[in-house]
Structure 1
Amino acid sequence: MISVVGAAIVRHGCVLAARRSYPAAEAGRWEFPGGKVDPGESPEGALVREIAEELGCVVRVESWLTGAVRGRDRGRALELRVALCTLADGEPSGKEHDALRWLTPEQLDDVDWLEPDRPFLAELCEVLLDGEKLPGGNVGGAVRIGATVRRPTGPWTPAVHALLGHLAETGLPAVPRVHGIDGRGREVLDYLPGAVLDVNAEVLTDARLAALGSWLRALHTAASGFDHPGPWRFFGVDAPSLITHNDVAPYNVAFDGDEVAGVFDWDLAGPSDPVCDLGHTAWTAIPLFRPLPDEDAARRLRIFADSYGTDPLTVLDAVRPRVQLAIDGIREAVRRGDEGMRNLAAQGEPERTERALAGFLARRDGIAGFLR
């Protein structure tokens, strides 16, 4: 029996499909690239060799999809198996195919697959729907699939989508578009490329800090004309004056150079006020949760406040109530069974934030002294 292997090369939650140009009976149809296993060769070794020859790149075999397809070729019995692979080096090029496409799980049926490959599509679809886990964020559960991000939904999702639609109409940059709900009930949003800060090891440059303040001002201006009854995930401000993001922090922002390229994780959007929003961003982006020297903290706070167009002391005074709101809100959400907030609790919240807030309050007057 002839052993044949195919490669389902997966990247960013998409699989590579290759269109055959020959023989005539198969030209124009799509397949998993691969080929025959030579005598004495392992299936994994054959797959690496075949992909290097056909696509000019190196793959790593991760695992094998379930089952095999048996058939005949010129009177000889053959068996096809398909492996999940990742790219180890190089970029695929169509040396032996006339077209290549990266397909999302929803696009698997958009191409005319060769019959032997079709039995593997259902299992492959589930693998692709797992997506690629994304960095950034603070609650978890977001994955990338192609040019989209998939995130868990909740009762607040319709209101958040209405807000995103409104902001898109205003022309506010760096806001993801909504593309509906996927087969696992997750929201589908634009993937916003850019550099996301490692908040455990880095701080925003002065230029990025200023850009974030300017973007936050633009958000508040754009959101001032929007209203929605909810339900919302975020509550707690006594007299809300607008609906805003409520978690504009470095872990939720992607930068292109010094400019804000994307702001994500809108699930905490809801009724609030501008000063409350400023307090949270200052806490996370100055960052005031860290024991920066008072003079440096004051200097960065002034950069942020000036770029927004407000007084830095006003922002400083907003920090304590906003952080306390987060502490109380996490505890209440965990009590209600909110899965995202349970993820935070597993990371040591809100106790970690309580300790950081105590440290900030001990430094607060020193920072204020440099601002006066």
Structure 2
Amino acid sequence: MIRVVGAAIVRHGCVLAARRSYPAAEAGRWEFPGGKVDDGETPADALVREIGEELGCAIRVDRWLPDAVRGIDRGRELELRVAVCSLTDGEPSGIEHDALRWLAPEELDDVDWLEPDRPFLPGLREMLLDGEPLPGGNVGGAVRIGATVRRPTGPWTPAVHALLSHLAKTNLSAVPRVHGIDARGREILDYLPGQVIDVDADVLTDAQLAALGRWLRALHEASAGFDHPGPWRFFGVDAPSLITHNDVAPYNVAFAGDEVAGVFDWDLAGPSTPVHDLGHTAWTAIPFFRPIPEAEAARRLGTFADAYGTDPLTVLDAVRPRVQLAIDGIREAVRRGDEGMANLAATGEPERTERALAGFLARQPSLRARLIVGGSSSSATPQ
């Protein structure tokens, strides 16, 4: 019996398919790359060797898909096994195939697979739908699959998708497009590449702060005139004046250098005010949730406020009510049974934020006095 092994090489929730160029009967059809197990080789060793020869890259065999396919090839009994593998070095190239494609779970049926490979597709499809968990995000559940992100939905999802569709028409940059709902009932959005700054350990550059202020202003202008009855997940404010993101913070922003490349996690979008948005972004991005030198905090606040086009004092005074709204909202959402907010509570919220707010309030009078002495420009104060 001839033993044959194939590699289901998985990256970012997609699997690599290779198109045969020979023999003539199989040319143009797709397979999991691999080959025969030589005498004295283990299946894993054979697969690593074959992929190096066929694709010019190195892999690690993670696990074997269940079962094997048996058949007859030119009068000889054949057994095919397929392993889930990860790339460890190099980029696959079509040394022995005329085309390669990374396929998301919804794309597995887009190519004409060789018959021996087809029985492995259903199990592989389910595994690919697990995706690649994305780091961060205590509310939870986001995974990457190819160029998309899959996230849990809720009653608020239709309203959020309506907002994103509206923003797409305004050509606002850094906003994910909506691609529907997947087989597990999750929303499908663009994956937005870039660097996410960990402000627990670092700070945004002045240029990044300014870019964030400009982008937030552009968001508020693009949202003007949009309305939707909801329901929305955001816990709301008195007298809202527009629909906005409500969580524009470094952990939800990807930068390309100093420019805003992507803003994600729109599930808290809902009726609010520009000043509440500014207060929350300042809390997380100056940042005010942890102590930094007073002169530095005042200067950074001025950079952010000037880029948006408003008075730094207006932003400073917006911090306390917005943070208190978040504290109260988390508790109310947990009481209502919001699973994502329950996940957040399990990390120590909102008590951790309450402690940070108390520290900010102790620093605020001195910071306010410094801003007054230094002078603060007043232009286009948000409402």
Q: Same fold (TM over 0.5)?
A: yes
Q: Which moved more, 1:360-369 or 1:15-24?
A: 360-369
Secondary structure, counterpart of 1:158 in structure 2: helix
Is the contact between residue 196 and residue 255 of structure 2 (CA under 8 Å) also seen in structure 1? yes
Deviation (angstroms), 1:362: 0.8
1:198 partner letter: D
**1:63 aligned partner:** 63
Matches within 5 A, 1:68-107: 68-107=68-107
| RMSD across aligned positions (CA) | 0.9
**Aligned-pair distance for 1:104?**
0.5
Partner of 1:332: 332
Superposed CA offset, 1:70-126 (max 9, x none): 012232212111000010000000000000000000000000000000000000001
Q: Supply the distance in 1 between the matched residues of 2:88 and 2:43 (Cα, whole angstroms).
A: 17
State the TM-score, normalizing by the size of structure 1: 0.99
From the superposition, tell whether residues 254 and 136 of structure 1 become closer, same or farther in structure 2 (CA, over 3 Å). farther
The letter of the residue matching 2:312 is P
Paired residue secondary structure (2:28): coil
Partner deviation per Cα, 1:232-268 (whole Å, 9 max, x = no partner): 0012311100000000000000111111010000000
Contact 1:235 1:272 in 2 (8 A): no
Distance (whole Å) between structure 1 residues aligned to residue 279 and residue 138 of structure 2:
17
Letter in 1 for 2:337: G
- The CA deviation at 1:135 is 2.6
In 2, the alpha carbon distance for the partners of 1:64 and 1:198 equals 37
- 1:179-224 Cα deviation digits (max 9, x unpaired): 1100000001111111111232211111001000000000001101
Q: CA deviation at 1:64?
A: 0.8
Which whole-Å CA distance do the structure 1 matches of 2:201 and 2:6 have between them?
A: 42
Shift in Å, 1:30: 0.2
Contact 1:136 1:196 in 2 (8 A): no
Q: Structure 1 CA distance, aligned partners of 2:211 and 2:137?
A: 19
Gaps of at least 5 residues in structure 1 are: none
Paired with 1:3 and 1:345, the residues of 2 have a C-alpha distance of 52
Which structure 1 residue ranges, 4+ long, deviate > 6 Å from structure 2? none
Equivalent pair of 2:105/2:128 in contact (CA under 8 Å) = yes
- Matched residue, 2:170: 170
Q: Percent identity?
A: 84
SS in 1 for 2:320: helix
Cα shift at 1:365: 1.0
Instruction: Report 1:130-169 matches (<5 A).
Output: 130-169=130-169
User: Once the 2 structures are TM-superposed, how far is the Cα of residue 138 of structure 1 from its aligned partner?
Assistant: 4.4
Which range moves more in the overlay, 83-92 or 195-204? 195-204
TM-score, normalised on structure 2?
Answer: 0.96
Number of the residue aligned with 1:187: 187
The Cα shift of 1:136 comes to 4.3
Q: Distance in 2 between matches of 1:203 and 1:60?
A: 37
Answer yes or no: is the 8 Å Cα contact 2:199–2:287 preserved in 1: no
Matches of 1:138 and 1:295, distance apart in 2: 32
